[in-house]
A and B are shown apart, each in its own frame.
Chain A
Amino acid sequence: MTTIPDLIDLLAASLKPVRRLRPPLERAATWLALAAVIVALLAIAQGPRPDIATVLRQSGFLVSLSGAALTGVLATIAAFMLSLPDRSRLWILLPAPPLVLWLSGIGYQCLTDWVSVQPGAVTLGETVRCFATLVLTSLPLSLALLLMLRYAAALRPTSVVFAGSLAVAAITALALSLFHDADATIMILMWNIGTAGLFVALGRIFGKTMFSWVAPRPDIHLA
């Protein structure tokens, strides 16, 4: 068994200079910039929804849209703050007010239109296109966030995962409400928060091994 003095010797011997993390706000801004790029690329690829001019004049849509945008920004900041050991746990509450604003605007759902059966043809419904946008937006964003916040696995995995998923969900919802005329908020939340919840639950079951593949490891080898 290694004793503490042995361990200290080992750690000191394997010490390498490290680059400090950039301030959390700066890193949050970097990630949000990535999100903006992805949404912009999708906008070019898919084009805005046909009735964009009409809905942008509806106050309900604007409230919901800005709620989603604000939730995205604040949840991102919360995730980056929570990931640092010396910041308060209360940062998790930061995205709560705009989240209420965003969810208050939930209207139609595109949950129910997976397949539309018409005379002579079975075509994929709007839901499938919704789903494609959803995955295209949330997957790269989630992966980027996972990489940027991987060290948080050793600290507060649950709250960081939730804040991060909320950020991804909000930005995905923003993208969807600009590109599709059906509101997919519930689907997005189910997809993102549900997946996050699944990961956290699995993490509870499997203990520390869950995020260990992505968590930073000390670059030493214990005898």
Chain B
Amino acid sequence: MTSGPPKRVPLLTLVKAAQGTGDVSRETGEDASNDRALNWSILMAHTQAGDAGAYRRLLTEIVPYLRSLAARRLRDPADIEDSVQDILLTIHAIRYTYDPTRPFGPWLVTIAQRRIIDRLRRRGRLHSREEPLTAEHETLPAEQTNIVDEMSDRHELHEAVENLPAGQREVIRLLKLKEMTLKEAAEATGMSITSLKVTTHRALNSLRKMLSRGNDDQ
């Protein structure tokens, strides 16, 4: 019912066994994959002992395999990469649960499947309540966000301002576009504040006329 593996297996024995099987059976593909699994299991045993070189080699070797496992269930390449990273992190976190006397494959595959399913579920959750943003979604109540509309308005407005008489154009430029105060504008132009106000009023009136005519044309 249970497998009672010996408590501590010396690494040396395992390495020896691996070389032995490798020498005898290298002919068939199945043997090659057995070899590979055995090799991973040895590398994992070294990893548990703290051998960073073996660990790096193990992780680098299993990544293509994990990627192919993930690619069977996930389509988005970013998801595949993310789930491979999740798997590597889980392997790191629970590396002490591996028993080197048992095959490495099933241990790895269970962990991989769990993380891939997690990723699938997260996908499902996102899809059920989120939608990708499209151009239509960008028309938002705040005026600054409607850049496209604003651009055409701005263009029209600038044209209208250019068509104003020189005095009115200057006043609009200073007071409305440069947003000067009446006092600053008075200093800049040498006009009195009252005449600035009158000119602004006239300028706005003519702009309004020009722009509403423009809209009627459309």
Contact = CB atoms under 8 A, between A and B. Distances in A.
Interface of A: 2-4, 7-9, 11-25, 77, 81, 83-86, 151, 154-156, 207-208, 215-218, 220
A154 B118 CA distance: 10
Contact of A81 (B2, B90, B94, B102): B2
A19 B5 CA distance: 15
Interface string B58-88: 0110010000000000000000010011001
Given A20-B96, A21-B96, A155-B110, A11 B48 contact: no
Contacts of B118: 208
Contacts of A217: 93
Given A16-B50, A23-B4, A85-B110, A8 B96 contact: no
Interface string B1-33: 011110100000000000000000000000000
Given A151-B94, A218-B89, A18 B48 contact: yes
B47 interface: yes
20 contacts: A4-B81, A8-B56, A8-B59, A12-B53, A12-B55, A12-B59, A17-B49, A17-B50, A18-B50, A20-B48, A20-B100, A21-B99, A25-B2, A25-B4, A84-B99, A85-B106, A154-B93, A155-B111, A155-B114, A208-B118
Contact of A2 (B55, B85, B102): B85
A13 B56 CA distance: 9
A154 B96 CA distance: 13
A154 B114 contact: yes
B106 A216 contact: no
B97 A84 contact: yes
B2 A86 contact: no
B93 A151 contact: yes
A216 B93 contact: yes
Contacts of B92: 11, 14, 218, 220
Nearest to A3: B81
A17 B118 CA distance: 28
B54 to A, nearest CB: 9
B198 interface: no
A4 B55 contact: no
